[in-house]
């Protein structure tokens, strides 16, 4: 329907998340991302998936063939683009395909440029999608409850480091049904380390969780039904007055954004400013974006 609407005969996709969504397939070629290295070329009669054929077992190959999906080796994509008939029109997203690939097209092939239809389609969660995400969040929440129960019992009784936090939280997630992997390297950061975006503790450099302060935990899991990204901040001992003030400023920002009513289609920086306004009012700011999507 999208090809017809755009007046295109063919559609070429080079973005891995769009391909994974469109074919409902998952892989493990990129760390923490359930995607596989591939290309797709589609017209009204056929869909061709270009992937290293050794990754596709006989059962999956049979399912894809029943759905009318032709498999070709990943290395054959240039030849396939060269086979697009002269005079045909090809829909592409210019921001998501390289010029080198498009140079394989015949000179008479017309490019129809625009967003891949899958980009918007996969952002609109169906009721089934939403239910899968809810189940993933429930399992992840159970893992967090197990972890925090351990943390409460272990504080003051055993040596805990940022690395220990990572180990115990990962182990709790691993025990949940449908768990696949982490969705990114766990960030467990105590006091000053928590002020560094995307901090990661190492064997050589990490903090021991002791004394007073704030423990930041930013972590997530990949489950068969969805992906989680969870941030929690835990007081250890007695936080300082400055830390209490910072937590209050952040809470005010959360409340301001939660209460905001805004028009459909508003640009996200305008909402970002609502979240920052109570923090700016006290002459401070934070060097990071505000939030991101779920799913």
Res 36 pLDDT > 90: yes
Confidence bin at 293 (pLDDT 50/70/90):
low
Q: Say yes or no: 224 and 259 in one domain.
A: no
The range of the structural domain enclosing residue 77 comes to 2-121
Residue 164 tokens, joined: 């220990």
Q: Say yes or no: 30 and 78 in one domain.
A: yes
Q: Say yes or no: 177 and 259 in one domain.
A: no
Res 168 pLDDT > 70: yes
The reported pTM is: 0.82
Q: Say yes or no: 158 and 114 in one domain.
A: no
End-to-end CA distance of the chain: 25
What number of CA atoms fall less than 13 Å from residue 210's CA on the CB side? 9
Distances (CA, A) of 107 to 84, 88, 89, 170: 11, 10, 11, 53
Domain count, the chain: 3
Query: Which of 78, 98, 121 is the last residue in one of the domains?
Result: 121
Q: Say yes or no: 161 and 194 in one domain.
A: yes
Res 294 pLDDT > 70: no
Q: Say yes or no: 158 and 189 in one domain.
A: yes
Q: Say yes or no: 151 and 234 in one domain.
A: yes
Query: Which of 102, 121, 140 is the last residue in one of the domains?
Result: 121
CATH value at residue 101: 3.40.350.10
Cβ atoms of residues 231 and 218 within 8 Å: yes
Cβ atoms of residues 172 and 151 within 8 Å: no
Task: Render pLDDT for 217-245 as a digit per residue (tens, 0 to 9).
Answer: 999 999 999 999 999 999 999 999 999 99
Strand ranges in 213-285 using DSSP code E only, listed in sequence order: 213-219, 221-223, 226-227, 230-236
Q: Say yes or no: 42 and 97 in one domain.
A: yes
Confidence bin at 292 (pLDDT 50/70/90):
low
With a CB cutoff of 8 Å and minimum separation 6, the contacts of 240 are: 212, 213
């Amino acid at each position: 329907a999208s090809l017809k609407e755009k007046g295109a005969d063919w559609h070429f996709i080079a973005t891995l998340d769009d391909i994974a969504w469109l074919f409902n397939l998952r892989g493990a070629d990129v760390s923490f991302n359930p995607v596989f290295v591939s290309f797709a070329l589609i017209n009204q009669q056929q869909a061709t998936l270009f992937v290293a054929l050794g990754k596709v077992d006989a059962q999956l190959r049979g399912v894809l063939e029943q759905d009318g999906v032709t498999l070709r080796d990943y290395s054959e994509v240039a030849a396939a683009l060269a086979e697009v008939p002269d005079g045909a029109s090809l829909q592409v997203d210019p921001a998501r395909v390289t010029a080198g690939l498009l140079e394989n097209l015949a000179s008479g092939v017309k490019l129809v440029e625009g967003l891949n239809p899958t980009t918007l389609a996969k952002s609109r969660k169906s009721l089934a999608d939403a239910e899968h995400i809810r189940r993933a969040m429930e399992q992840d929440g159970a893992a967090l409850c197990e972890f925090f129960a351990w943390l409460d019992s272990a504080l003051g009784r055993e040596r805990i480091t940022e690395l220990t936090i990572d180990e115990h939280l990962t182990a709790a997630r691993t025990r949940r049904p449908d768990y696949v992997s982490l969705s990114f390297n766990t960030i467990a950061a105590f006091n000053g380390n928590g002020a560094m975006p995307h901090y990661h503790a190492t064997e050589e450099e990490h903090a021991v969780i002791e004394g007073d302060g704030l423990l930041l935990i930013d972590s997530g899991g990949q489950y068969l039904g969805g992906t989680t990204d969870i941030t929690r901040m835990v007081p250890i001992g007695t936080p300082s007055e400055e830390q209490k003030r910072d937590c209050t400023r952040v809470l005010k920002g959360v409340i301001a954004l939660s209460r905001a009513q805004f028009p459909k289609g508003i640009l996200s920086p305008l909402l970002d400013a609502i979240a920052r306004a109570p923090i700016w009012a006290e002459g401070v700011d934070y060097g990071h974006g505000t939030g991101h999507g779920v799913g």
